[in-house]
Amino acid sequence: MGGYVYHVLNRANGRLRLFRKAADFLAFERILGEATERIGMRLCGYGLMSTHWYPLLWPPADGDRPDFMYWLTMTHTQRYHVAHRTVGMGHLYQGRYKSFPVKDDSYYLTALRYIEANPVRPAWRRWVGNGPGPASPSARAAPLTLDEEIPPKRLLPPLIPL
Protein backbone atom coordinates (compact mmCIF):
# COMPACT_ATOMS: atom_id res chain seq x y z
CA MET A 1 0.00 0.00 0.00
CA GLY A 2 1.51 3.31 -1.04
CA GLY A 3 1.90 6.33 1.18
CA TYR A 4 2.75 4.36 4.33
CA VAL A 5 6.05 3.32 5.92
CA TYR A 6 7.20 -0.32 6.13
CA HIS A 7 10.01 -1.93 8.12
CA VAL A 8 11.32 -4.60 5.73
CA LEU A 9 13.73 -7.48 6.36
CA ASN A 10 15.47 -9.94 4.05
CA ARG A 11 17.79 -12.74 5.18
CA ALA A 12 20.34 -14.90 3.41
CA ASN A 13 19.61 -18.56 2.79
CA GLY A 14 21.15 -21.02 5.25
CA ARG A 15 22.93 -18.31 7.28
CA LEU A 16 25.06 -17.50 4.24
CA ARG A 17 27.08 -14.32 4.58
CA LEU A 18 25.71 -11.93 1.99
CA PHE A 19 28.47 -9.44 2.73
CA ARG A 20 31.92 -10.98 3.13
CA LYS A 21 34.05 -7.90 2.58
CA ALA A 22 33.73 -4.14 2.34
CA ALA A 23 33.23 -4.32 -1.44
CA ASP A 24 30.13 -6.49 -0.93
CA PHE A 25 28.56 -3.86 1.32
CA LEU A 26 29.38 -1.09 -1.12
CA ALA A 27 28.06 -3.06 -4.10
CA PHE A 28 24.76 -3.61 -2.31
CA GLU A 29 24.54 0.08 -1.44
CA ARG A 30 24.97 0.92 -5.14
CA ILE A 31 22.17 -1.51 -6.05
CA LEU A 32 20.00 -0.03 -3.30
CA GLY A 33 20.58 3.44 -4.76
CA GLU A 34 19.74 2.21 -8.26
CA ALA A 35 16.52 0.59 -7.01
CA THR A 36 15.53 3.74 -5.15
CA GLU A 37 15.93 5.85 -8.29
CA ARG A 38 14.37 3.28 -10.61
CA ILE A 39 11.18 2.80 -8.56
CA GLY A 40 11.04 6.25 -6.95
CA MET A 41 11.13 4.75 -3.46
CA ARG A 42 11.61 6.96 -0.43
CA LEU A 43 14.24 5.30 1.74
CA CYS A 44 13.92 6.52 5.34
CA GLY A 45 16.85 4.46 6.58
CA TYR A 46 18.51 1.07 6.23
CA GLY A 47 20.89 -1.31 7.94
CA LEU A 48 23.17 -4.01 6.60
CA MET A 49 24.47 -6.95 8.57
CA SER A 50 26.56 -9.79 7.17
CA THR A 51 23.56 -12.14 6.86
CA HIS A 52 20.62 -9.76 6.36
CA TRP A 53 19.48 -6.23 5.61
CA TYR A 54 16.55 -4.11 6.68
CA PRO A 55 15.35 -0.90 5.05
CA LEU A 56 12.64 1.43 6.26
CA LEU A 57 10.64 2.12 3.10
CA TRP A 58 8.03 4.76 2.32
CA PRO A 59 6.50 3.80 -1.06
CA PRO A 60 4.67 6.65 -2.80
CA ALA A 61 2.10 4.46 -4.61
CA ASP A 62 0.41 1.07 -4.34
CA GLY A 63 2.62 -1.65 -5.79
CA ASP A 64 5.88 0.29 -5.36
CA ARG A 65 7.10 -1.75 -2.36
CA PRO A 66 6.81 -5.17 -4.05
CA ASP A 67 8.23 -3.78 -7.32
CA PHE A 68 11.15 -2.23 -5.41
CA MET A 69 11.87 -5.39 -3.43
CA TYR A 70 11.62 -7.60 -6.51
CA TRP A 71 14.07 -5.48 -8.49
CA LEU A 72 16.43 -5.05 -5.53
CA THR A 73 16.61 -8.73 -4.56
CA MET A 74 16.77 -10.06 -8.12
CA THR A 75 19.47 -7.59 -9.15
CA HIS A 76 21.49 -8.24 -6.00
CA THR A 77 21.16 -12.01 -6.44
CA GLN A 78 22.30 -11.92 -10.07
CA ARG A 79 25.25 -9.62 -9.39
CA TYR A 80 26.24 -11.53 -6.25
CA HIS A 81 26.37 -14.85 -8.10
CA VAL A 82 28.47 -13.36 -10.89
CA ALA A 83 30.87 -11.59 -8.48
CA HIS A 84 31.33 -14.68 -6.29
CA ARG A 85 31.32 -17.19 -9.16
CA THR A 86 28.33 -19.06 -7.73
CA VAL A 87 25.96 -18.89 -10.73
CA GLY A 88 23.69 -21.93 -10.66
CA MET A 89 24.52 -22.84 -7.07
CA GLY A 90 21.16 -22.17 -5.46
CA HIS A 91 19.16 -19.52 -3.71
CA LEU A 92 20.76 -16.46 -2.16
CA TYR A 93 17.81 -15.46 0.02
CA GLN A 94 15.89 -17.53 2.55
CA GLY A 95 12.60 -16.74 0.89
CA ARG A 96 10.34 -13.78 0.32
CA TYR A 97 11.15 -10.67 2.31
CA LYS A 98 9.22 -9.82 5.47
CA SER A 99 7.45 -6.48 5.68
CA PHE A 100 5.88 -4.85 8.73
CA PRO A 101 3.71 -1.74 8.49
CA VAL A 102 4.81 1.08 10.78
CA LYS A 103 1.67 1.92 12.72
CA ASP A 104 2.63 4.94 14.77
CA ASP A 105 5.29 7.59 15.34
CA SER A 106 6.78 5.66 18.24
CA TYR A 107 7.36 2.57 16.07
CA TYR A 108 8.84 4.75 13.32
CA LEU A 109 11.36 6.32 15.70
CA THR A 110 12.13 2.96 17.36
CA ALA A 111 12.77 1.37 13.95
CA LEU A 112 15.11 4.20 12.95
CA ARG A 113 17.00 3.90 16.25
CA TYR A 114 17.32 0.15 15.72
CA ILE A 115 18.59 0.67 12.19
CA GLU A 116 21.15 3.19 13.43
CA ALA A 117 22.33 1.11 16.41
CA ASN A 118 22.32 -2.50 15.17
CA PRO A 119 25.33 -2.48 12.79
CA VAL A 120 27.41 -0.62 15.38
CA ARG A 121 27.39 -3.64 17.69
CA PRO A 122 30.63 -5.64 18.09
CA ALA A 123 30.26 -7.92 15.04
CA TRP A 124 30.34 -4.83 12.86
CA ARG A 125 33.23 -3.03 14.58
CA ARG A 126 35.91 -4.98 12.71
CA TRP A 127 35.13 -2.90 9.62
CA VAL A 128 35.76 0.40 11.36
CA GLY A 129 39.07 1.83 10.26
CA ASN A 130 39.96 -1.03 7.91
CA GLY A 131 40.38 0.86 4.66
CA PRO A 132 37.51 1.81 2.37
CA GLY A 133 34.93 -0.35 4.14
CA PRO A 134 31.64 0.96 5.41
CA ALA A 135 32.30 2.12 8.96
CA SER A 136 28.83 3.57 9.29
CA PRO A 137 27.44 3.89 5.77
CA SER A 138 25.72 0.56 6.36
CA ALA A 139 23.27 2.20 8.72
CA ARG A 140 21.92 5.37 7.28
CA ALA A 141 18.86 7.31 8.10
CA ALA A 142 17.80 9.59 5.31
CA PRO A 143 17.79 13.21 6.47
CA LEU A 144 14.34 14.42 7.32
CA THR A 145 13.62 17.32 4.99
CA LEU A 146 10.52 19.30 4.24
CA ASP A 147 9.45 19.38 0.63
CA GLU A 148 6.33 19.24 -1.52
CA GLU A 149 5.58 15.64 -0.53
CA ILE A 150 5.66 16.19 3.23
CA PRO A 151 3.27 18.74 4.73
CA PRO A 152 5.26 21.36 6.69
CA LYS A 153 3.54 20.58 10.01
CA ARG A 154 4.19 16.83 9.81
CA LEU A 155 7.81 15.73 10.11
CA LEU A 156 7.05 12.02 10.11
CA PRO A 157 5.45 10.14 7.20
CA PRO A 158 1.77 9.20 7.40
CA LEU A 159 1.30 5.98 9.30
CA ILE A 160 -1.21 3.17 8.97
CA PRO A 161 -4.08 3.77 11.42
CA LEU A 162 -4.69 1.10 14.05
CA pair distance 125, 122, nearest whole angstrom:
5
Closest CA to 6 of 93, 50, 64, 49: 64
Query: Cβ distance 95 to 46 under 8 Å?
Result: no
Q: Does domain 6-141 have CATH number 3.40.1440.10?
A: no
Can you give the residue ranges of every domain in the chain? Answer: 6-141
Cα diameter, the chain: 51
Q: Residue 9: beta bridge partners?
A: 98
**162 residues of the chain, pLDDT tens digit each:** 888 999 999 999 988 898 988 889 999 999 999 999 999 999 999 999 889 999 999 999 999 999 999 999 999 999 999 988 888 888 888 888 999 999 988 899 998 988 888 765 444 344 444 434 343 444 444 443 333 333 333 344 555 554
pTM for this entry:
0.73
Residues in the chain: 162
Quick one: which of 5, 2, 4 has its CA closest to 111? 5
